[in-house]
Amino acid sequence: MDLKNIIFSKEEGIGWIRFNRPDKLNALNPEVFFELGKVIPICAADDDIRVVILTGNEKAFAAGADIDHMANGDIKTAFKLSDEAIVVQERLADLPKPTIAAISGYALGGGLEVALCCDFRIAADNAVVGLPEINLGIIPGGGGTQRLPRLINYCNAAEMIMLGSMIKAEKAERIGILNKVVSAQDLEKEVKAFAQKLMRQPAMSLRAAKIAMRKGLNTSLKDGIRIEQDLFCMLFGTQDQKEGMAAFIEKRKPQFQGK
Ligand code: COA
């Protein structure tokens, strides 16, 4: 596959997607979203990929949408760019496997928005996150004003969005944006260990849990509970449910097969 702005690889059950515009702190231009749009369906379809990790380099996960590309844009350009970002981010958020953003350095604007589409965010202690778009005379255009207040409390989200403040890893963990902060040199090791824990879980249950939570966030509690019920009952048709419960009764560790 001809990829220039991201690097995609597969390693021991993990699909790695690395942003690769180091000269521009991995700023997200339309080509990046186009390439992301190509690899996400591959991650969804390939049964050997159990967990997907998005990452950047030491200095930046991604420092936002490409300002050079937007600076002289008109309304039509803005719609085109945000349409691409929204469609690709929806695909990422809906990917029926666990996704992790491994953040080192800056995760700003569109970079944070992509990370917010992942199930987990693990960051190095040098991470800085924010939605600074207001300082450019705009607002987030890839889901930031919607996903952030759904993730953390409204007043912290409002502070980040209205003041455009960039916050350090420790605070981002405290207010619930990050799952975990680790030392910069341990980021890859820690993220892999987290992914391996996920890979030991029953794959169909992971899928069902993710769909239940994601769909449930967009519906009423009553409908969400019925979505959960269908997925819960469906899991009684899997071998992993039989294995999980048999292992409990036999007082041994379950060996899940993802079936
Ligand atoms: N779009 C386009 N280029 C960007 C970029 C972005 N979002 N973020 C960084 N870059 C480019 C810089 O222009 C610079 O390019 P140059 O070397 O050709 O001049 C290069 O990446 C390095 O960035 P620089 O600003 O020199 O690094 P820094 O360490 O001094 O500052 C930031 C880092 C992240 C604080 C600063 O780059 C920044 O504020 N970026 C924009 C963040 C933003 O507003 N994102 C939301 C966009 S909607």
Helices (H), strands (E): how many in the chain? 11, 10
Question: Given this model, what pLDDT does residue 255 score?
Answer: 95
How many domains does the chain divide into?
Answer: 2
> What is the residue with the minimal CA distance to atom 41 of ligand 1?
63
Same domain, 15 and 47: yes
> What is the residue with the minimal CA distance to atom 8 of ligand 1?
63
Dig out the tokens for 186 from the structure.
Answer: 């341990």
Same domain, 115 and 229: no
* The model's pTM: 0.96
Tell whether 256 is covered by a domain.
Answer: no
CATH number at residue 239: 1.10.12
Same domain, 47 and 88: yes
Same domain, 212 and 185: no
CATH number at residue 25: 3.90.226.10
Domain end point (choices 177, 199, 221): 199
| Helix axes 239-249 and 203-217, enclosed angle (nearest 10) | 110
How much is the CA Rg of the chain, to the nearest whole Å?
A: 19
Distance CA 28, CA 33 (A): 7
Q: Please tell me the distance between residue 71's alpha carbon and the centre of ligand 1 in angstroms.
A: 13
Neighbours of 183 (CB within 10 A): 11
Distance CA 205, CA 203 (A): 5
Question: Mean of the pLDDT values across residues 202-221?
Answer: 96
Tell whether 257 is covered by a domain.
Answer: no
Say if residues 106 and 61 touch (Cβ distance below 8 Å): yes
Atom number of ligand 1 nearest to Cα 59:
29
Same domain, 168 and 120: yes
Pairing mode, if any, of strands 99-103 and 120-124? parallel
> What is the residue with the minimal CA distance to atom 16 of ligand 1?
24
Neighbours of 128 (CB within 10 A): 19
Question: Mean of the pLDDT values across residues 212-219?
Answer: 95
Tell whether 142 is covered by a domain.
Answer: yes
Same domain, 121 and 45: yes
Give the model confidence (pLDDT) of 17-32 as tens digits: 999 999 999 999 999 9
Question: Mean of the pLDDT values across residues 104-113?
Answer: 98
Q: Please tell me the distance between residue 66's alpha carbon and the centre of ligand 1 in angstroms.
A: 9
- Range(s) of the domain holding residue 229: 203-249
Pocket of ligand 1 (CB under 6 A): 24-25, 27, 63-68, 106, 108-109, 132-133, 136
Please report the DSSP string for 110-163 in residue order.
Answer: HHHHHHHTSSEEEEETT-EEE-GGGGGTS---SSHHHHHHHHS-HHHHHHHHHH
Same domain, 207 and 193: no
Same domain, 114 and 232: no
Distance CA 115, CA 60 (A): 12
Q: Please tell me the distance between residue 25's alpha carbon and the centre of ligand 1 in angstroms.
A: 6
Residues in the chain: 259
Share of the chain above pLDDT 90, in %: 99
When pLDDT is cut at 50, 70 and 90, the band that residue 43 belongs to is very high
Give the model confidence (pLDDT) of 113-126 as tens digits: 999 999 999 999 99
Same domain, 73 and 134: yes
Q: Please tell me the distance between residue 83's alpha carbon and the centre of ligand 1 in angstroms.
A: 23
> What is the residue with the minimal CA distance to atom 14 of ligand 1?
24
Same domain, 133 and 227: no
Q: Please tell me the distance between residue 166's alpha carbon and the centre of ligand 1 in angstroms.
A: 13
Say if residues 156 and 131 touch (Cβ distance below 8 Å): no
Same domain, 231 and 181: no
Helix (H) or strand (E) holding 192: helix 187-199
Residue 64 is classified by DSSP as S
Give the model confidence (pLDDT) of 51-92 as tens digits: 999 999 999 999 999 999 999 999 999 999 999 999 999 999
Q: To test ligand 1's pocket by mutation, which of 67, 68, 168 has the most ligand atoms within 8 angstroms of CB?
A: 67
Neighbours of 120 (CB within 10 A): 19
Q: What residues act catalytically? A: 113, 133
Select from 180, 249, 237 the least CA-distant residue to 205.
237
When pLDDT is cut at 50, 70 and 90, the band that residue 1 belongs to is confident
Same domain, 218 and 164: no
Give the model confidence (pLDDT) of 128-180 as tens digits: 999 999 999 999 999 999 999 999 999 999 999 999 999 999 999 999 999 99
Give the model confidence (pLDDT) of 217-236 as tens digits: 999 999 999 999 999 999 99
